[in-house]
Structures are given as structure tokens and as C-alpha cells.
Amino acid sequence: MKVEQLIRKESLRQQEDLCLIASENHMSEAVLRALGSPLANKYSEGYPGKRYYAGNRIVDEIEQRAIDLAKKLYGVEHVNVQPLSGAPANLAVYSALLAPGDTVLGMDLSHGGHLTHGHPVTLPARLYTFVRYKTTLEGKINYAEMEKLARKHKPKLILVGYSSYSRDIDYERVKSIADQVGALTLADVSHISGLIVTGLLNNPGSVFDIITTTTHKTLRGPRGGLILCKKTFSKQIDKAVFPGLQGGPHQNQIAALAIALEEASRPSFKTYAKQILTNTQILAKALVERNYELCFGGTENHLVLVDLRNKKISGREAQISLEKAGLIANMNIIPDDPAPATHPSGLRLGTPALTTRGFKEKQIFEIVELIDKVLSNSQNNIVIRQVQNQVRALAKTFPAPGELK
């Protein structure tokens, strides 16, 4: 069948290319099996023990298993595992806690924020009033500006958590700012979940009111979402997810999540997460040695954001040239980018997927050499083909899990 052939082609592409997109990873075979299991057949509107359809006794056990694991890993009082992804999770939180017109204080998109944090093209921006803080010239979150804006605008919600910001977050300081103006707090930790549950980055679990996260990035699970919160918000959150925004949850996804959370509970996952941080530090160091400029003054997590202006190449041109060589990265705007979003000045690079394949320091240095070779010869197809051959040799040595046989 045509679609089956295309799936196999994509499986081969993922094996032959090397992924440096910070928001992508490779699931384990166990997680992939759960996604393709008969659980996909089951309709289960409602929550464990409170379903609208019969035949959910086993599904209830699976969903409760995912809930219990997430509560333990993040150190929170309540978890909803039904959001289909990060954007629906954030929308559910907004609808649960805010009234139309309420003010939200969140990060400017060009300084590392996310579309769902109030970008004008999104639905939340049509419903709520978003005010944006930025980073300092040194590349750290501007907490002083956040405090000033909070006092001026009296937001109902203060939002942290980012898609291209490469530093850790001081949740205690944000909470103290929120308390001054009576605001609720939301941390969208989609990118750094796997680093939080292993104790390698700060955990907002005991500090913030609400946490949202996707499950497929550093957590290495299926594409999905979680909402974690204090018990006082549990009924509002659950009602906002179902029946507010969604119907029946995807139980194959929830089962895959439960398996990923089991994997994240093992000592081997912390070893993996530590290697992500080590690899990212090496990535940053090697790039700086080749005169690449890093936004935010470096990195403390799984990604770097590269300002390419001194290399006289746009993020879009870099992305296209790298993809031809089998290196998959994404163009990205930089703080207060003078270029349009369609041809931004930056390139975002991350190490989770490479680390899953077994890459360590030596291989990361090799990757940076290849990146530099491509970007220095972006119009030279002979050089790009040479790099592609080197990429495929590396990829073959370090296969990704889940290859279709």
C-alpha cells in the first residue's frame, strides 16, 4: 500500500538523517508499540472510574498508572494526562483560570517564548490580553522588568517556560513577583521536562500553581500533553479538558505516556539526561570556537540558539543547506530579530535526539565540524554531498530506536 511505503521511507529517513531539532526525539520501541496497540480502538470519555461508556476497566488502570507516575516524578498533587498536545493543554489552563479580557504576563516570542504564550496569530491572543517581558542584554530573563510590568498591568496569570531560551528558570523569584500582585503562576516546561524530573534543572512542582508540558521532547515519550497542578485547581482543570475542549482521550497515547514515565523513573534515564546536558555544553563550546555567536550567553539546558548574522547566512538558508547534508535543524528568530520570521537570523540546535542515539562528546565535536563545513560552503553541492556521506556513516554507527524492519 502507498501509505505503508511512505511510512517505511520516513523510517529510513529518520535513520539516515541526524536530528538536531531541540523539540524532537526518538521514542523507545515499547512506546511506539503502545501507540499502535488496540487501545486506539477504545472510546473513554470521562476520567478513571467516571466514564460515559462501558468496557473501560482496563483503560482506567492504564490512565491511573500514568497519573500516579507523573505525580511522583514531578512532585505535584494533581495530574491530567488527557491533553492531546501542548497547545491544547495551555488553552485548557487559560479557559479554566481566566475570563475573556484577563491579562497574562508572558515571554516575548523572539526572546524564547512560544506561540501559545500569546502570539497575535493565536486564538488565546484574541481572548486574553498578553503583556510581554524580555531577556537582559546578558541573555538572562529580565526579572526586574517582569516585576515592573506585573505591578503596572496586574496580570491574572504570570507565565514562564520557553521554546528557544537556553537557560534555567528561577521559579521562586517569579512566584514572589506573582504574590505581590495576586497573580496565578503557570510554567510551560515542555522542552525541559526530562531534565526536571531527573533533578538536573529547577522543578516548579512545589512552587507554581500550574505546570503544562508536552511529553515527546526531553521526556522521550509520545506526542501528547500533561497538566499538573495544586489540588485546589484540579476540578477546574479537569472540567476544562473534558468536556470543555476535548471529547474522548487517546488511550493508546496515554498508555505510551505511562511507559515513557516508567522509563523516566529509571536510573538509566538520569544518566541519559546528564549526557544531554554534557552534549549541549560541548555543542556550545565547539560552536564558539568556530566563531559562532550564541544567544543568551550560552546554555544550561538541551539547546543553543545561534545568531548567524556574523556568518552572512540566514537561518532559512542554513536550515535548507543542512537538510541537504542530512543534518536536520530549524531556523529560529533571535531576540528582537531585525529579519522577518520567514527568514530569521537564527538557528536552533538541540541534543536530545542525538543523545538517544548514543552520541557523546566525540561525536558532538564531529557534528559541529560538519555543520560548520556546510554553512561555510552552502552553495557547494560537492561539499554538501561529502558531508551527507559522513552523516550517513555516523547515523549507521548510531542507529535510532524504532526502525521498521
Report, as residue numbers or ranges, the catalytic residues: 43, 45, 188, 214, 217, 223
Alpha helices in 41-192 (DSSP H): 57-74, 86-97, 123-127, 143-153, 171-181
For residue 362, count other CB atoms closer than 10 A to its CB: 9
The DSSP call for residue 109 is: G
Q: Is the peptide bond before 401 cis (omega within 30 degrees of 0)?
A: no
Q: Which helix (H) or strand (E) holds 310?
A: none
Per the DSSP assignment, residues forming a β-bridge with 46 are 51
C-alpha cell of residue 28: 523507545
C-alpha cell of residue 115: 506561540
Q: Which helix (H) or strand (E) holds 15?
A: helix 2-16
Torsion region of 291: left, alpha or beta (phi above 0 gives left; psi -120 to 50 gives alpha):
left
Contact 310, 154 (CB under 8 A): no
Contact 158, 147 (CB under 8 A): no
C-alpha cell of residue 57: 476497566
> How far apart (Å, rounded) are the C-alpha atoms in residues 130 and 118?
6
Q: What angle do CA 208, 213, 219 make, to 5 degrees?
A: 120
Q: Nearest CA to 81 among 93, 68, 72, 95?
A: 68
Contact 104, 155 (CB under 8 A): yes
Q: Nearest CA to 272 among 214, 196, 194, 169?
A: 194
Length of the chain: 405
C-alpha distances (whole Å) from 316 to each of 21, 171, 294 are 14, 34, 17
